[in-house]
Amino acid sequence: MCKIDISRLSFNHMTAKKYDLYSLVDTCSHLGIRYVGMWRHKIAEVGLEQAANLLQAYGIRASSLCRGGMFPASNEEEFADHIDDNKRAIEEAAYIDAEVLVLVCGPAADKDLSKARYMVEKGIDALLPYARSCGIRLGIEPMHPVFASDRSVIVTMEQANDLIDKFNDEYLGLVLDTFHIWWDPKIDEQIRRAAGRILGFHVNDYPRVVDRSPLVAREMMGKGVIDIRRIRIAVESAGYMGPIEVEIFNDQLWNMPLSELLSYTKESFLQHV
Amino acid sequence: MCKIDISRLSFNHMTAKKYDLYSLVDTCSHLGIRYVGMWRHKIAEVGLEQAANLLQAYGIRASSLCRGGMFPASNEEEFADHIDDNKRAIEEAAYIDAEVLVLVCGPAADKDLSKARYMVEKGIDALLPYARSCGIRLGIEPMHPVFASDRSVIVTMEQANDLIDKFNDEYLGLVLDTFHIWWDPKIDEQIRRAAGRILGFHVNDYPRVVDRSPLVAREMMGKGVIDIRRIRIAVESAGYMGPIEVEIFNDQLWNMPLSELLSYTKESFLQHV
């Protein structure tokens, strides 16, 4: 049956974005959830030191920190600013002992996707030595092509694998998210190719019809068209046995009381992941 | 400068979906537009014979008929119905002397994308002899992956090219649409690979942020992030010199008076395509 173990569940903060880190960590702890996916702006609400203390006090691990990336820029100065910001993200990831810094690589500054993709490569090249010195691995998250205009010019696992091949550095890998990769005709071959480089795995579902802004169109596992278990097993076959983050941007879920949402998440995780 | 000639402009009926074929053809004719992209449900409003007569009377060509496809089914009977419906679409395309029948290949009936993709192949195989006997070419339109759940499991040019390689039949080719292909890291290589098989080309723009249902997120050329001219020149370099359809699903444009919309379209076409 290949059932999933609840010990691998990580709850991404953005799935309950109205709540602060105190409530999140406390409620996760009560429900036996051992990992959370962290976001920089949610850490900033409580302060970095306090965030690290909270995790430690509750014995909860940060499965990832979101996000670094956003490399493309319209000029050299802006590009340098992006690199500086990424260095701060690496420092924060190290401070909270996150397993990986997620790279959402950024959109093009103009209409030139090739140039933007080149800047992503240049940005990763500039960051890797610092990431290594801080002990933080960088995980490229290929995003669904619907976000190519505003979030990431890296839209397929094949692109991410190609980039990782170029660097061949143990501090660079992929973060996979079912919403972003489920449609890809090369999903199986590229997950296999990513063996040993998968640094994170996010789950959520894709609606039968995207009738709203795609940013908030993600669904709870089981509510959409993705065969999530099949993908999870493929990801495990490629050697990834780490935490699995539930990351869902969805207005209805955002309006649920936290403990109810977390219980619903656990149940859906066990049934569909 | 590689400027486009207005003689290649085709106006797709769905860009002005509130208007009937009479108004469309009449207004196109007044503005010197020589092609229209046709839809089966808009033909049904006036009747097939009348539609053909109208085109002939005004000397306007149908650059394409939309749509065939929608192959995947949950059982054999449903699949057979889909094939029958496609045969009627081929007959209609022949009756109005359309240059190509566009195949929007359909979503999966369940969560199994591989099975759905196999049914697309089986469906094309079942249709090709009939298409040949009617003198109608079939154009696979790879759709943006955001529509993988409700419109097409064929989401990349590479998939379409692979399928076309399998059949190697002059009656099977591709229809390219800037909205659907602009994000693809392999856009240049796959357009080159499609040389001699491109049966249609649609233009429209992609917004910087998709803040609404992606179905109606298309923009007038020049209003978004796509380097449309670059793609048009690539498509021409691959040998396609036929009509270029402006196909835009957009509420604001749907509310414009027809002649104003057509003038705006002509101007944007000349400037950005």
Report how far residue B31's alpha carbon sits from residue A36's, in angstroms, rounded to the nearest whole number: 60
Q: Of B101, B105, B79, B81, which is closest to residue B91 (Cα–Cα)?
A: B101
Q: Is the pLDDT of residue B20 over 60?
A: yes
Q: Do A184 and B145 lie within an 8 Å CB cutoff?
A: yes
Q: To the nearest whole angstrom, how far is the Cα of A59 from the nearest Cα of chain B?
A: 38
Quick: pLDDT tens for A70-94: 999 999 999 999 999 999 999 999 9
Question: Of all residues in chain B, what percent are helix, strand and coil, respectively (each to 5)?
Answer: 50, 15, 35
What pLDDT, in 10s, does the model give residues B133-154?
Answer: 999 999 999 999 999 999 999 9
CA angle (A245, A251, A253) in 5-degree steps: 50
Q: Which residues in B have their CB inside 8 Å of a CB on A?
A: 107-108, 111-113, 117, 144-150, 155-156, 158-159, 182-185, 206-215, 224-227, 230
In A, minimum Cα distance to B115 occurs at A185
Write b or e for each residue in B32-69: b if 16 or more Cβ atoms lie within 10 A of its Cβ, otherwise e. Answer: ebbbbbbbbebbeeeeeeebbebbeebebbbbbbbbbb
Is the confidence at residue B2, as pLDDT, over 90?
no
Distance from chain centroid for Cα A11: 11
Q: Which residues of A touch B156 (CB under 8 A)?
A: 185
- Give chain B positions within 8 Å (CB) of A184: 145, 155
pLDDT band at B80 (very low <50, low <70, confident <90, very high): very high
What angle do the packed helices A48-58 and A76-95 form, to 10 degrees?
A: 30
The stretch B244-273 carries a mean pLDDT of: 97
Q: Which of B74, B111, B189 has the highest number of chain A CBs within 10 A, making it the mutation to test binding with A?
A: B111
Q: Summarize pLDDT for A221-271 with one digit per residue, the tens.
A: 999 999 999 999 999 999 999 999 999 999 999 999 999 999 999 999 999
CB within 8 Å: A212 and B209: no
Residue B127: exposure state from Cβ atoms within 10 A (0-12, 13-18, ≥19):
buried
* CA distances (Å), origin A238, targets A178, A232, A270: 15, 10, 21
Pairing of strands A35-39, A9-12: parallel
Query: Using the beta-carbon criterion (under 8 Å), do B184 and A144 form an inter-chain contact?
Result: no
A147 CB neighbours in chain B (<8 A) are 210
Which residue numbers of A have CB closer than 8 Å to B's CBs? 107-108, 111-113, 117, 144-150, 155-156, 158-159, 182-185, 206-215, 224-227, 230
What CATH number labels A6-272?
3.20.20.150
Of A111, A156, A207, the CB nearest to B226: A111
Q: What is the pLDDT of residue A127?
A: 98
The widest CA-to-CA distance across chain A, in whole angstroms, is 54
pLDDT for A119-150, tens place per residue? 999 999 999 999 999 999 999 999 999 999 99
Preferred mutation among B213, B216, B231 to probe A, highest tally of A CBs within 10 A: B213
Bond before B67 cis per omega within 30 degrees: yes
Helix (H, G, I), strand (E, B) or coil at A97: coil
pLDDT at A3 over 90: no
In whole angstroms, what is the distance from residue B29 CA to residue B35 CA? 9
- In chain A, whose CA is at the least distance from the CA of B116? A185
Tell me: pLDDT of A111 over 90.
Answer: yes
**B107, B184, B214 ranked by CB distance to A146: nearest:** B214
Contact B98, B64 (CB under 8 A): yes
Q: Which of these, A64, A67, A155, A158, lies nearest to A107 by C-alpha position?
A: A155
| ipTM of the complex as predicted | 0.96
Q: Name which of A217, A178, A191, A225 is nearest B112 in CA terms.
A: A225
Contacts of residue B113 in chain A, CB cutoff 8 Å?
182-183, 185
Comparing C-alpha atoms, which of B208, B209, B266, B206 is closest to residue B231? B206
Out of A112, A185, A209, name the one closest to residue B149 (CB): A209
Average pLDDT over residues B234-259: 97
**CA distance linking residue A137 with residue A199, whole number of Å:** 8
Per CB-CB distance under 8 Å, the chain B contacts of A158 are: 185
| Confidence (pLDDT) at B153 | 98
The tens digit of pLDDT for each residue in B83-138 reads 999 999 999 999 999 999 999 999 999 999 999 999 999 999 999 999 999 999 99
User: What CA–CA distance (Å, rounded) separates B157 from B185?
Assistant: 11
Q: Is a pLDDT exceeding 70 seen at residue A1? A: no
Contact check, Cβ <8 Å, A210/B150: yes
Mean pLDDT for chain B overall? 97
CB-CB under 8 Å, B211 with A185: no
pLDDT of residue B3: 87
d(CA B134, nearest CA chain A) in Å = 32
pLDDT of residue A188: 98
CA separation for the pair B52, B49 (Å, rounded): 5
| pLDDT at residue B1 greater than cutoff 60 | no
Cβ within 8 Å, pair B182-A208: no
pLDDT tier for residue A190 given thresholds of 50, 70 and 90: very high
For chain A, what is the mean pLDDT? 97
